[in-house]
């Protein structure tokens, strides 16, 4: 606990969960407290979280992913992504990887509280806090947004969301089935400029 940069530096998308891995309500409570400490436009705090543990509901959510993947998602990502990532995504979407996460937190935005233009910008800091807190507590996690865009009607119905609540992200949380390698990221200096775009931050 308490090593923020250690947690940030280890953040990886987990798509292989231990189906027997428990996520306690106490730990979830801490993750959600971290989430609601995020900044939001005009401090509107326009979020709501639906914690899905029920196996049948998780299987239904996962089945929608499989449908999307088989209907063309796979062909699309194959054109641009390296094979190991496509395989990993396939494991998550089509071979039960995501369904094995013992908890799915669906993050919704209250469209009555915040203007459309601020909606995503006000939700994702909370989502990121959730991911970091999950990592800090030793859990694996995965942020997804596709289902809440393409499968939005199904998600709405399944979770009994009122019209004013828009599902924006589904965060899968569980125990990783295997240790994750270090993340691969380009160094900050390679994407940072001094005063004007094009002037390297470091010379």
Ligand X SMILES: Cc1cc2nc3c(=O)[nH]c(=O)nc-3n(C[C@H](O)[C@H](O)[C@H](O)COP(=O)(O)O)c2cc1C
Q: Which of the 8 DSSP states describes residue 176? A: B
Q: Which residue has the tokens 């998600």?
A: 155
Of the pair 142, 165, the CB lying nearest ligand X is at 142
d(CA 95, CA 177): 14
What is the chain's percent helix, strand, coil content, to nearest 5?
Answer: 45, 15, 35
Which of 179, 140, 150 shows the shortest CA–CA distance to 31? 140
Give me 92's structure tokens.
């998550």
Distance of CA 28 to the CA centre of its chain: 15
- Decide whether 61 or 165 has the Cβ nearer to ligand X: 61
d(CA 45, CA 36): 7
Give me the least distance between CB of 97 and ligand X, in Å please: 8
Which residues pair with residue 17 across a beta bridge?
A: 176
Q: Which is nearer to ligand X, 46 or 151 (CB)?
A: 151
Min dist. Cβ of residue 58 to ligand X (A): 15
* Pick 18 or 88: Cβ nearer ligand X: 88
| Binding stretches for ligand X (CB under 6 A) | 12-13, 15, 89, 92, 142-146, 183
Q: Residue 122 or residue 163: which is nearer to ligand X going by CB?
A: 122
**Which residue carries 């979020």 as its tokens?**
47
Q: How far is the CB of 80 from ligand X (least distance, A)?
A: 12
**62 contacts 99 by C-beta, under 8 angstroms:** yes
Can you tell me whether residue 164 is helix, strand or coil? coil
Shortest distance (Å) from residue 88 CB to ligand X:
7
To ligand X, the closest distance from the beta carbon of 144 in angstroms equals 4
> Cβ of residue 143: shortest distance to ligand X, in angstroms?
5
Residue nearer to ligand X on the CB measure, 59 or 81: 81
């Amino acid at each position: 606990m308490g090593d923020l940069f250690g947690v940030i530096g280890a953040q990886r998308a987990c798509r292989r969960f231990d189906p027997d891995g428990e996520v306690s309500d106490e730990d979830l409570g801490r993750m959600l407290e971290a989430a609601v400490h995020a900044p939001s436009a005009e401090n509107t705090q326009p979020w709501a979280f639906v914690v899905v543990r029920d196996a049948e509901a998780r299987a239904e959510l996962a089945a929608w992913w499989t449908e999307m993947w088989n209907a063309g998602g796979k062909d699309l990502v194959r054109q641009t992504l390296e094979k190991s990532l496509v395989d990993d995504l396939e494991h998550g979407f089509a071979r039960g990887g995501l369904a094995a996460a013992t908890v799915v937190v669906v993050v919704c935005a209250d469209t009555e509280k915040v203007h459309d233009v601020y909606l995503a910008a006000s939700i994702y800091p909370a989502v990121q806090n959730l991911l970091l807190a999950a990592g800090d507590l030793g859990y694996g996690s995965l942020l997804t947004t596709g289902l809440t865009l393409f499968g939005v009607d199904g998600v709405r119905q399944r979770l009994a969301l009122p019209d004013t609540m828009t599902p924006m992200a589904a965060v899968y949380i569980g125990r990783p089935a295997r240790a994750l390698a270090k993340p691969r990221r380009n160094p900050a200096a390679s994407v940072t400029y001094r005063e004007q775009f094009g002037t390297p931050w470091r010379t």
